[in-house]
Amino acid sequence: MWSRSMNCGYCGASIEEDGTGMPSTWMRETILEQQGEWSIRLLRDSDRLKCVLKLRALLGFDIKAAGALIKGSCSVIWSGTQVECNWLASHLKELGVEIVIERATQTS
């Protein structure tokens, strides 16, 4: 789940917004700038196929992107915001996939 809240000190206007799943591109970039990038890392390579199939269903990967993840040798299967990683991890853990969420980059 993500949210944002803004108040204008000049005119008093307020904006509040929230949602589940993936935020808009500009909001995601702002979150990554402020909070850094996080990654989901597989602990067992044998979980790769079912993990990628679930990510494809949740995120709408095309078959080419999914194929690249399946064939990949890196244990990191997703990088993004911490909230995205937590959301995806909750779905992956339902499948019995063993993963770790870890910080990929520090904030500036």
> Can you give the CATH number for the domain in which 52 is found?
3.30.1390.10
* Percentage of the chain modeled with pLDDT above 90: 36
In a domain, residue 108? The reply is no
In a domain, residue 34? The reply is yes
Burial environment of residue 45 by CB neighbours within 10 A (0 to 12, 13 to 18, 19 or more): exposed
pTM of the model: 0.74
What is residue 108's predicted lDDT score, i.e. its pLDDT? 54
CB 18 within 8 A of CB 3: yes
Number of domains in the chain: 1
Domain range for 29: 2-103
- What is the tens place of the pLDDT at every residue in 85-101? 999 999 999 999 999 99
What is the identity of the amino acid at 85? Answer: C
CB 11 within 8 A of CB 67: no
In a domain, residue 55? The reply is yes
More confident residue, 25 or 2: 25
